[in-house]
A and B are shown apart, each in its own frame.
Chain A
């Protein structure tokens, strides 16, 4: 059953800690994306990767880092440099072609404690 899996569903971070959010897909999609969702706002792009071993910054990359060592995996690290990390994080992947939709994971809610 193809899909995109994010884990964990809920994550708590202490001040000054780095945390890593997992995103795995078995859709054979080349492109993967990380978005941040805050209440009442549209999703904002953090990082994206269109091919293995390559990724680009999105609109709000500061305080975040990613890696793309495998086609299936695109983990996001929220570093201590991200001053306001509490948010809902969504990972997405996309197949080739304009008509292909984006498939989203079920999200990770990160809370700073």
Chain B
């Protein structure tokens, strides 16, 4: 069964500090991996999308990495801001199968001043 596991489940960091979120997946055949940011009570917003051949992609202070061999991805947040408080969701897409998405349970990040 295809799965996407994220860790930690939640974390608290001080404003200005960096943090890294992990995503491990078993989805196969792999098509692409996306990271989304979801504010409470809102829909997810795309941060990055990476295909098999890409191993890093940045979007401002967010940097995602992908190791397709070990089926691991990480999302690094640099110089965190209070507005970074949200859930971060890792989503993996299958090749064909209608590009079916498998969602991780998310990591809830709380940035404190």
Interface residues of A (CB under 8 A from B): 4, 6, 35, 40-45, 48, 50, 56, 88, 90, 92, 98-99, 101-107, 109
Q: Is the CB of B105 within 8 A of A41?
A: yes
Q: How far is the CA of A99 from the CA of B41 in the complex (A)?
A: 27
Q: Chain B binding site: helix, strand, loop or mixed by DSSP? A: strand
Q: How far is the CA of A92 from the CA of B4 in the complex (A)?
A: 20
List B residues 39-66 near A (Cβ within 8 Å): 41-46, 49, 51
Interface residues of B (CB under 8 A from A): 4, 9, 31-32, 34, 36, 41-46, 49, 51, 89, 93, 98-106
Q: Is the CB of B44 within 8 A of A40?
A: no
Q: Is the CB of B98 within 8 A of A48?
A: yes
Q: Is the CB of A101 within 8 A of B106?
A: no
Q: How far is the CA of A42 from the CA of B102 in the complex (A)?
A: 8
Q: Is the CB of B99 within 8 A of A98?
A: yes
Query: Which of B4, B46, B106 is in CB contact (< 8 Å) with A102?
Result: B46
Q: How close is B68's CB to chain A, nearest CB, in angstroms?
A: 15
Q: Is the CB of B4 within 8 A of A106?
A: no
Q: A50-B98, A98-B31, A98-B32 are in contact. Are A42 and B45 (CB under 8 A)?
A: no
Number of A-B contacts (CB under 8 A): 54
Q: Can you list 10 residue pairs at the A/B interface with Cβ under 8 Å?
A: A4-B43, A42-B4, A42-B106, A88-B41, A90-B44, A92-B43, A99-B49, A101-B46, A105-B43, A107-B43
Q: How close is B86's CB to chain A, nearest CB, in angstroms?
A: 13
Instruction: Give 19 A-B pairs besides A56-B98, A103-B46 with Cβ atoms closer than 8 angstroms.
Output: A4-B43, A40-B9, A40-B106, A42-B104, A43-B89, A44-B103, A48-B98, A98-B51, A98-B93, A99-B32, A101-B46, A102-B34, A102-B46, A102-B101, A104-B36, A105-B43, A106-B43, A107-B42, A107-B43
Chain A residues within an 8 Å CB radius of B106: 40, 42
Query: Which of A42, A48, A101 is in CB contact (< 8 Å) with B34?
Result: A101
